[in-house]
Every structure is written in structure tokens, then in C-alpha cells.
Amino acid sequence: MKCYLCGSKNYFNREGKVRDNPSIQILECEDCGLVFLDKQNTGDVFYEENNMLNENFFKFTKRDGESLEAKTREFYIHNALFVEKRFKLIKQLLVGKKLLDFGSGRAQFLLKAREIANEVAGVEIETRVQQFYEENNIPLFRSLDEIKESGGGGYDLITAFHVIEHLQDPITILKQLASLLKENGKMIIEVPNANDALLTIYKNKAFSEFTYWSPHLYLYNPHTLQKLGEKAGLKVDFVKCIQRYPLSNTLYWLSNGLPAGQKIWGGFLDSKVLQEAYESALASVGATDTLIAQFSKI
């Protein structure tokens, strides 16, 4: 087996388990630091049927709700906080622009972006999402080929939030996305950080047996995300470390070895000041939970 990014054959096993399939090994390239799984058992059919958000997912992530539908709803309510954070971060790039969101789910980001963008569209493979696009009159493509075939493209901005880590061949997909950009168009990519402090600094065992998940085929750190952009022939404007989960979440992991601590301790602990200070402390050592990169078409 060779490293997807640098071709090295030197890698070691990372501590931890893939929560939904403990037989899968978590490997880390010794030369570039890319983290990858030794088996890739998610293909297009998996995402078309949205097998990602299944009972197993909710059991591991401790979502409330009686039915699968109720839990899925809870997931999207929680996700709205992340959508809000992203929107604030890249707002200035969206004003009056033509946007494509790749892996757009139920169009949560597109609905926000539409308030200030000139034109928005989504690419989502999951079959069940159609109604959200029809109800809101947002164009939906099922694949990048479909955009090409319909003569589309010329986007000012393409976003992909927590999508790239699911792809078997992200370099090829990034190149295809770049071909849909205008000259000087930009791409915003958000992924989980392989250097999350809970793994690399606090070395929390419970978290290392929770966070790895079979659909996350590759995990990037600031260096490997930059390398990925370069390999796709893009100019890397920046890779920024951001923290999605608050300090209460971290402390709860350290104390109880369980997720969702912000729901229990967040009320008295979390504040804007604390979150900003915690985020910048983690960012100074590259150990936030999330990375956001901007790539430009050369």
C-alpha cells in the first residue's frame, strides 16, 4: 500500500479504532503525515442511499430522538450552528457571486448563502434530498458530469464542507471542480483535522475510539491539506485552523470519555470570549478540530 498523496510506503498504525468497523486499520504516512484507512468500503451507492446517517451513526454520536427521522432532524438542527459559523467566515466572498456547493446535503448552507449571493446551486448524490431543493427552488445537480453536460460552470466560488475526506480520489475531484470555476475563481474546503488536540495532545483514548469512521477515508492536517490543493494544480491561498466544538466538549471527553459534553456543561462554561481564546491557543499549534482552506484556480 502506498500513500495517496506522496507515494511513500512508510507508514505506521495510529492509536485508536474505526468506530463502526474495528477491523479497519488507521494508518499515518511517515513522510507527509496523511492519515488514511487501509480499506475503503464506501462507494456512490452508499451516499445515494445516505447510509452515513443510519441508526449506528446516531448510537455512536449519542443523538436524541425516538425515530431515525427525529434523530436526523436533530442532526440538522445541530449542524445549523456549524453552517452559521461557516457563513460568517466566508460571507465576504459570497456577495453578488455565483456559488456551487459540492456535497450540499439538504441545502442548509445554500439557503443562507442565497441571501447575499447572486446565484446558488448544489451538487448532492443523496436521492432523498430532492424535495428540499424543489421546495426552495434551488438548482440541484446529481454529479459534476451533469453540470458539464448541461453546459454549466463559470462559478466564482465552490464550497465543499466535510466532503473531501469522504472521497477515494480527491485530487481528481478537485481538478474537476476547478474546471467549473471562472478564471481566478476560488474554492473553500472544510475538513476535520487529523491533528485534533484530543488525539495529538491530550491523547484521549475514548475519543480515539470514537472519531475515526469508515466513511472518512483520509484525514488531513494543515500540511497535507496544502499538499492536496497543490497536487490538484491549485494555488493554496491559506489553510486556517478553526475549532467547531467548545471547551466544554473537550473537558467532557477528558473527564467522562463521552461526546456531546457541550449539551451538559456548555451552559455555564462556554462563552464567546472563552471559545475565541481556546480556538486561538489550539490554532497556534495546529491542533483545532477543523481545517478550512482556500484554493484559487491558477
The reply to whether 225 sits near Zn ion by the rule CB under 5 A is: no
Choice from 3, 160, 247, 292 touching Zn ion (CB under 5 A): 3
Distance CA(177)–CA(141), nearest Å, equals 13
Q: Using CB under 5 A, which of the segments 32-40, 139-147, 192-200, 232-240 binds Zn ion? A: 32-40
Does 34 participate in binding Zn ion (rule CB under 5 A)?
Answer: yes
Q: Among 29-37, 239-247, 257-265, 273-281, which window interacts with Zn ion (CB under 5 A)?
A: 29-37
Q: Is 13 in the site for Zn ion (CB under 5 A)?
A: no
Supply the minimum distance, in Å, between the C-beta of residue 239 and Zn ion.
17
Q: Does 10 bind Zn ion (CB under 5 A)?
A: no
Interface with Zn ion, residue 120, by CB under 5 A: no
The C-alpha cell that represents 124 in the structure block: 448532492
Q: With left for phi above 0 and alpha for psi between -120 and 50, is residue 184 left, alpha or beta?
A: left
Nearest partner of 177 among 103, 239, 227, 106, judged by Cα:
103
**Of 170, 283, 168, the residue nearest 224 (C-alpha):** 170
Residue 72: its H or E element: helix 68-94
CB of 227 to Zn ion, least distance (A): 8
The residue (of 29 and 291) whose beta carbon lies closer to Zn ion is 29
Strand arrangement of the beta sheet that strand 11-13 belongs to: 11-13, 26-29, 35-37, 218-219
Q: Give the nearer residue to Zn ion in terms of CB position, either 35 or 140.
A: 35
Provide, rounded to whole angstroms, the least separation between the CB of residue 293 and Zn ion: 18
Residues 6+ positions from 231 with CB-CB distance below 8 Å: 5, 171
Proportion of the chain in helix, strand, coil states, percent, rounded to 5: 40, 20, 40
3 vs 247 by CB, closer to Zn ion: 3
Does the footprint of Zn ion cover residue 32 (CB under 5 A)?
Answer: yes
Return the residue of 24, 26, 29, 187 that touches Zn ion, per CB under 5 A: 29
Q: Which of 207, 213, 289 is nearest to 58 (CA)?
A: 213
Smaller CB separation from Zn ion, 3 or 199? 3
Distance CA 296, CA 298 (A): 6
Query: Please, are residues 238 and 284 in contact by the beta-carbon 8 Å criterion?
Result: no
One symbol per residue from 129 to 168: x for binding Zn ion (CB under 5 A), - otherwise; what is it? ----------------------------------------
Q: Which is nearer to Zn ion, 30 or 49 (CB)?
A: 30
Residue 8 found at the interface with Zn ion (CB under 5 A): yes
Give the nearer residue to Zn ion in terms of CB position, either 34 or 174: 34
Beta bridge partners of 100: 121, 158
Q: Which residues bind Zn ion (CB under 5 A)?
A: 3, 5-6, 8, 29, 31-32, 34
